[in-house]
Amino acid sequence: MSGPGPLRLRDLDAAAFRARYGCERLDATVLGNRFRYVLEHICQRLLACAFSPPLRDFYDFAATITGPPELGYPVPAVSKTFIAFTGTMTESVRNTIEEYGPERLEPGDVVIANDPYRTGTHVNDVLFCRPVFHADRLVAFVTIKAHQLDIGGSVPGGFSATKTSVYENGLVLAPRALFRAGAEVRETFSLIADNVRFAGLIERDMRTLCACLELGDRLLQASIARHGVDALHGAMRYVCDADAERMTRALERLADGTWHGAALVDCDGLDDGEQYPVRATIRKRGGHVEVDLSGTARQARTSINGTFLDAKTTVGVALKFLLDPDGPFTSGLYRPVDILVPEGAILAARPPEGVVFAYGESTNALLLAMLTAMAEAVGEDAIAGDHGAPNIHTAHGRRADGSPWIAVGVSGGERGPWGATRAGDADSFSIFYQANSIDTAVEVSEADAPIVILRREYVADTGGAGCHRGGAAVLKDSLFLEPAEHAIIALRFREPTGRGVRGGRDAPTGGIWLWREGGASGAVARGAGADSYRDAIRVGGRLDPLSGLPDPDGPYHWFGRERSWPTPAGAMFRYVTNGGGGYGDPWTRDPERVRRDVRDGYVTLAGARADYGVVIVGDPERDPEGLQIDGAATAALRATRR
């Protein structure tokens, strides 16, 4: 007979808990929650006070509390903001501080870095680290990683899939001081200002970020005054131990097995002749899991790569989504996880040729590969695929008075559907799974740049059919009132990303179209019907050669055939995202739910019959509330399938 399993944290008596963590259980629990409160306070302050759109409108930042070197830099709390930063920040603080030298730190310092190979993600994401001291002792760090509107380089804003070396990417900041003992380091501010566009705006953001870190320092000092340093450190270790235990227990509940999944990055920005598969083999034994990315494509020739730190984030996010969605994200979750990534792969790129910028393309492919691999193993907890990619569109130009303008992430396919789960139908207007940002208001987008958002609407019959329906594809029309240059990144149209699970169906892919002339009157008159695509320039996606509509068997149109897409005043871009995958057998969906979908425009009458076996009668355009289910015809149709 086997003996009892390892002692769980909840089974420790008061004396054992105190011996292990140096504090009372109540103190550790209160401080564990306090860590998350401090981060929420910091992030809300930054959201309210930031100047640039990525921070002010997009939530493109994340904050952590990190323990000191003597504890091994544990991360007991990560903010509920931009998820793609979570795993990278469990390592980037350590890498930054160890290179800078922890012995050089003093109260009031802020150390920054942005090199993707040191800190993950891309150069626009600058890491700000503030050490927290108590009685001359380094006890913690408060950190924020925040996207800067521009960091220099060959493309305004940085978003381009065509860069072929790190020297085009922008300013790289090795770990260095921005503030020292509370005083600004003028040469660091000058270095940044001399190399970036919109320097005044970025400097104001950086000062705001440092003020938010100062707030975090004060809040942690208040906790130390109340509970003491020993309790602070004990709580850090306890929170990370608890997360490791939760992940281990969640793994133990799964049957042992080996599972395989793959997803595709369409091509790179050099040409469309090379595709980049991302492959994941997941080996689970007991309370341990190994995620092996062997067989994943080599690093891309242009800037669509990620680093190992980005792969680490994605593995952690996937495991949290599938196995422990209610638990907080800490560095402890990785203890029962091994990650193998071949050096020089698209998710472990090396400089100078392995350029890292649009890392979201490869990491989102990895997430889909893991969701696919583990779908059967997790059973009812499977998650269908989402629209699959950031789809960032960047436009820039100069106004009539000569002043520059830039619009990042407001006129492309950045918002789209999620996949369905056992909880119900999926949302249709969110950013991809590895982000948690808010949507920029149309009025703000139009005030900041010469853009008019003409349409944002759902496309019927594009959500993956299922007992629970995937989110519908989003159509967006953006009209540019002045001449502009456009950088496009669209790399997930060759195959569906909205994969169905547990009998749910895959969702169709989308595309990108451009009308270089026509103006607002022409765009409004054109409408968004099936006939409107014929005269458009086909920019991206698999599209029917005659109609121009998305077609899974149509020829692939490569967005990068123009390194930058120039347009005159009056040009309009249209994006249609991929749809979200369905969950469960669509012919078991309650007919009343199908009727409501037809009423609300998610499903057509024909789609209700073909995809769900439900016969709806009435006119959804003129009398949506008068739609009725033909029960006898529905029963007869569903009987033929059985």
- In three-state secondary structure terms, 20 is helix
For the chain, the average pLDDT equals 94
CA separation for the pair 40, 263 (Å, rounded)? 34
Question: So where are the chain's domains?
Answer: 9-244, 383-585, 590-641
CA separation for the pair 326, 316 (Å, rounded)? 14
CA separation for the pair 387, 192 (Å, rounded)? 35
Q: Are 180 and 429 in contact (CB under 8 A)?
A: no
User: Residue 341: its pLDDT value, please?
Assistant: 96
User: Residue 519: its pLDDT value, please?
Assistant: 54
Establish whether the linkage from the previous residue to 352 is cis, with ω within 30° of 0: yes
Q: What percent of the chain has pLDDT over 90?
A: 86
Asked if pLDDT for residue 526 goes beyond 80, the answer is no
Q: Are 212 and 301 in contact (CB under 8 A)?
A: no
What integer is the mean pLDDT of 246-250?
97
Q: Are 55 and 46 in contact (CB under 8 A)?
A: yes
What integer is the mean pLDDT of 252-270?
96
User: Residue 3: its pLDDT value, please?
Assistant: 40
What integer is the mean pLDDT of 110-128?
96
Asked if pLDDT for residue 442 goes beyond 60, the answer is yes
User: Residue 409: its pLDDT value, please?
Assistant: 86
User: Residue 4: its pLDDT value, please?
Assistant: 46
- In three-state secondary structure terms, 4 is coil
CA separation for the pair 187, 174 (Å, rounded)? 14
The token pair at 335 is 């203890």
What integer is the mean pLDDT of 580-601?
98
The token pair at 12 is 């420790």
The token pair at 104 is 């050089």
Other C-beta atoms lying within 10 Å of the C-beta of residue 377: 18
CA separation for the pair 44, 50 (Å, rounded)? 10
105-114, 178-187, 399-408, 493-502: range with lowest mean pLDDT = 399-408
CA separation for the pair 617, 304 (Å, rounded)? 48
Complete DSSP assignment for 510-566: -EEEEESS-HHHHHHHH-SSGGGGTTSEEEEEEB-TTT--B-TTSPEE-GGGSSSEE
User: Residue 1: its pLDDT value, please?
Assistant: 33
Distance, CA of 599 to chain centre = 32
Q: Edge to edge, what strands does the sheet with 77-78 contain?
A: 77-78, 61-66, 137-147, 125-134, 110-113, 176-180, 183-184
Backbone angles phi, psi at 514, to 5 degrees: -135, 135
Burial 555-580 (b: 16+ CB within 10 A, else e): eebbbbeeeebebeebbbbbbbbbbb
Q: Is 63 exposed, middle or buried (0-12, 13-18, 19+ CB in 10 A)?
A: buried
What integer is the mean pLDDT of 575-601?
98
Amino acid at 641: R
The token pair at 283 is 């080996």
Using alpha carbons only, give the angle 209, 211, 217 rounded to the nearest 5 degrees: 105
User: Residue 5: its pLDDT value, please?
Assistant: 54
For 23-68, the pLDDT digits (tens) are 999 999 999 999 999 999 999 999 999 998 888 888 899 999 999 9
Write down the residue that tokens 């808990």 correspond to. 17
Q: Are 367 and 330 in contact (CB under 8 A)?
A: no
